[in-house]
Structure 1
Amino acid sequence: MRILTFSTLYPNPTAPHFGVFVENRLRQLLSSGEVQARVVAPVPWVPGDWAVLGGYARMARVPLQEIRHGIDVLHPAYPQLPKVGMNLHPYGLAWAILPVLRRLIASGFDFDLIDAHYFYPDGVAAHFLARKLGKPFVVTSRGSDLVTIARDYAFPRRLIQAAAQAADGLITVSKSLQDELVALGIARERSVVLRNGVDLEQFQPGERAAARAQFGVTGRVIASVGHLIPRKGNEFIIRALPQLPDVSLLIAGDGPQRQMLTELAAQLGVAERVHFAGVVGHAQLAQVYSAADILVLATGHEGWPNVLLEAMACGTPVIATAVSGCPEIVTAPVAGRLIPDREPATIAAAVSALFEALPERAATRAYAEGFGWEPTTQGQLALFRDILARRRQAA
């Protein structure tokens, strides 16, 4: 099978961790030997002075083409108007990418289907592109596309519903996201749940003392990993620290809340116990998990939080808010604990309780071994085969 992976959510040289879960799933699929793939991972282009906003100037430095892990990746630009152009994003994306796909077909890669990731604008644009090119398309929902965009914005919601109804296949990374599709009026049997897996070779228990020395932490250590944005809830973890006087917090990641979090730690008198590691490469995250006794994810919502599986694969139990896909991951005491909210007192109580009954690292690792990639890979292959078989029969 020849597939085109299409997503604005994909790593590139200026944002190597961006959408790494999309790349990981594709790499596992290619390892089956049954698929050839090209990736079209567009990057936004904004006009004039708007280019200085956010990360747009950085995205302008992304090369037009690169090879990542042996995969040919194209990064064509598409127009985007910050703040005011949300309703137009899928149209601008499809308009810019259609000639790119036609050239790709003309060059000899006449793909069998479009495998799109994230519903808006990517899945909606894939709907337009598939219709123009006469190709089947599949959309994978990954979290905020349904939990935030489809809930909060009326016009994008209608476009998402139309794309979902027209798609030849729908994938969600958790049952909770499948429930969101059903709430949009999409029959449950139209979608399949194929969760993200964890790389059990990359993420393994490491030597704890060495990992702690690397990040300068000692004693009881909890960790938080992810972009420093409000949804991730790092503020609540820091506010819990005054109730945990013997616990240090290791934060891996960067983002717009970095300064606020630094100032908050100082205001609460816990600055000496909050360690900001900055951006840690995906290949080095195992050291972060190995340095910690517990990973805390005080998230507002997630599709399928990979950090939970990565931590457990390193033998580190987790504490996570019981939202979205988290309850589908943390289902046994050796995995960790779920909390009903992300209030500082709730987090502090859960951390204290888990420290009193920490599972053996080997037991947590064994639990994570049930989340390898193979079932997801086989599920994709079965779905793609079925779609192409139905196409041949219709023809």
Structure 2
Amino acid sequence: MALNILMLSTLFPDISRPNFGVFVERQARELASRPEADVTVIAPVGLPPWPFSSAGRYAALRALPRKERWRELTVYRPIFTLIPKFGRARNVGAMTRAILPLVKRLHAQRPFDVIDASFFFPDGPVAQRLSKALGIPYSVKARGADIHYWGVQPGTRKLVRRAADRAAGLLAVSGAMKRSMERMGIDGDKIRVHYTGVDLDTFELADQDAAKAALGFSGPVVLCVGALIPRKGQDLLVRALPLLPGVTLLLAGQGAYRRTLETLAQELGVERRIGFLGSVPHHKLPRIFAAADVMAMPSESEGLANAWVEALACGTPLVISDVGGARELVDRPEAGRIVDRTPEAIAEAIRDTLDDPPDRQAVRAAALRFTWEANGDTLLAHLQGIAATD
């Protein structure tokens, strides 16, 4: 009989946010494609109290169906009440109360064997409470900020640690993430490294000149794909740009930090060499990667960024900081450079890459081990092991 899996994720795409957690969705689809697994996704939607929930971006979330078929997956979207920017620890209780009646009803119809929580916060503590209510084991995956940030904040660190201690098994997006978890005191024996995947048929080699022409670019192009937030280090790329004459910087992503970056670019006189692309639909990213000579992202912290792997799959070398699983990915010269988080070091690495570009086929070779098939194999074996030993 197939393993009946409850997948809990606060980061999952919907019609109003098609890019929101696409890697979680892809992982869920890979797992659900296996005859050995049945997957039900619960993707809770947090809304502020009325009337705030009826305005702006919350109105679109409020209009989402509570249950739907989303790309071959059954997805439930129960609503819980949140207080934006505050009450984050409170969200665990609010989310649990909103989800539990639904989960109990589904469990009564056909018992779940295991809970797979996609992130450590708030998903992990919620999974812990659901696990206790249903009497089934759970697993939590650590991806980056969920450990590096929520795992050390005074209001949430105890919740994160308790979720880790009581889980039957844990996943880490990289070996470096596993070591970070162990340094926090989490039992390393129950942590399994679970690398992300990349669709190698979508993210593939393409003619770079044609890609640049289609997008209206000429000359060297440096691309950064990621939310516009301080942690991603886009400001360092803007500061590096005066040291890279003739280079165009493209920033794919959205966020409130954009205004700060625009102001900085104007102060440095490089605003005409920066393109803010906004939130690019995931299926359109390969063409932009193809047009780029370098993918640069000097983050302050990461797990193992999906954008790193996608860039390599398109033959675009990396210039990234020494964070998370960077050294597990950049394990050969062709894959790129790991640099200090200074404008000067970043500019030097980009300049060296532009002056002596690696063969794009050799760059792509660094990504070939990161397949969704391998991702699904590891996840299925992990959850089967947890369910069997419970």
Q: TM-score, normalised by structure 2?
A: 0.95
Unmatched 5+ stretches in structure 2: none
**Residue aligning to 2:367:** 368
SS of residue matched to 2:366 = helix
SS of residue matched to 2:30 = helix
- What is the CA–CA distance in structure 2 between the aligned matches of 1:95 and 1:32, rounded to whole Å? 31
**Residue aligning to 2:127:** 126
* Range with greater deviation from structure 2 (368-377 or 344-353): 368-377
* Matched-pair contact (CA < 8 Å) for 1:339–1:347: yes
How many residue pairs are counted as aligned between the two chains? 388
- CA distance 1:148–1:109, change in 2 (3 Å): same
Give CA deviations for 1:97-130 in whole Å, capped at 9, x if unaligned.
Answer: 0011122234x34221111111111110110011
* Matched-pair contact (CA < 8 Å) for 2:252–2:277: yes
SS of residue matched to 1:93 = helix
Q: TM-score, normalised by structure 1?
A: 0.94
* Range with greater deviation from structure 2 (366-375 or 13-22): 366-375
Question: 1:71: Cα distance to partner?
Answer: 0.5
- CA distance 1:278–1:155, change in 2 (3 Å): closer
**Residue aligning to 1:194:** 194
- CA distance 1:36–1:155, change in 2 (3 Å): same
- What is the CA–CA distance in structure 2 between the aligned matches of 1:314 and 1:84, rounded to whole Å? 40
Percent identity reads 39
* Matched-pair contact (CA < 8 Å) for 1:217–1:275: no
- What is the CA–CA distance in structure 1 between the aligned matches of 2:244 and 2:311, rounded to whole Å? 21
- What is the CA–CA distance in structure 2 between the aligned matches of 1:161 and 1:32, rounded to whole Å? 32
Question: 1:175: Cα distance to partner?
Answer: 1.5
* Range with greater deviation from structure 2 (252-261 or 354-363): 252-261
SS of residue matched to 1:33 = coil
**Residue aligning to 1:77:** 79
Give CA deviations for 1:341-363 in whole Å, capped at 9, x if unaligned.
Answer: 2x211111111111122110111
Higher relative contact order (CA 8 A, sep 6+): 2
2:104 to 77, 97, 102: 102
**Residue aligning to 1:113:** 114
When the two chains are superposed, the root-mean-square deviation of aligned CA atoms in Å is 1.7
Question: 1:325: Cα distance to partner?
Answer: 1.8
- What is the CA–CA distance in structure 1 between the aligned matches of 2:260 and 2:384, rounded to whole Å? 49
Question: 1:232: Cα distance to partner?
Answer: 1.3
- What is the CA–CA distance in structure 1 between the aligned matches of 2:140 and 2:175, rounded to whole Å? 15
- What is the CA–CA distance in structure 1 between the aligned matches of 2:210 and 2:49, rounded to whole Å? 48
Alignment of structure 1 residues 53-68 onto 2, 5 Å: 55-68=57-70
* Range with greater deviation from structure 2 (309-318 or 382-391): 382-391
* Matched-pair contact (CA < 8 Å) for 2:41–2:76: yes
- What is the CA–CA distance in structure 2 between the aligned matches of 1:158 and 1:275, rounded to whole Å? 42
Aligned pair 1:88/2:90, yes or no? Answer: yes
**Residue aligning to 1:144:** 145
**Residue aligning to 1:18:** 20
Question: 1:144: Cα distance to partner?
Answer: 0.6
* Matched-pair contact (CA < 8 Å) for 2:32–2:73: no
**Residue aligning to 1:289:** 289
Give CA deviations for 1:226-259 in whole Å, capped at 9, x if unaligned.
Answer: 1111111111111111110021112212211223
* Matched-pair contact (CA < 8 Å) for 2:10–2:44: yes
- What is the CA–CA distance in structure 1 between the aligned matches of 2:267 and 2:286, rounded to whole Å? 31
**Residue aligning to 1:34:** 36
- What is the CA–CA distance in structure 1 between the aligned matches of 2:230 and 2:55, rounded to whole Å? 19
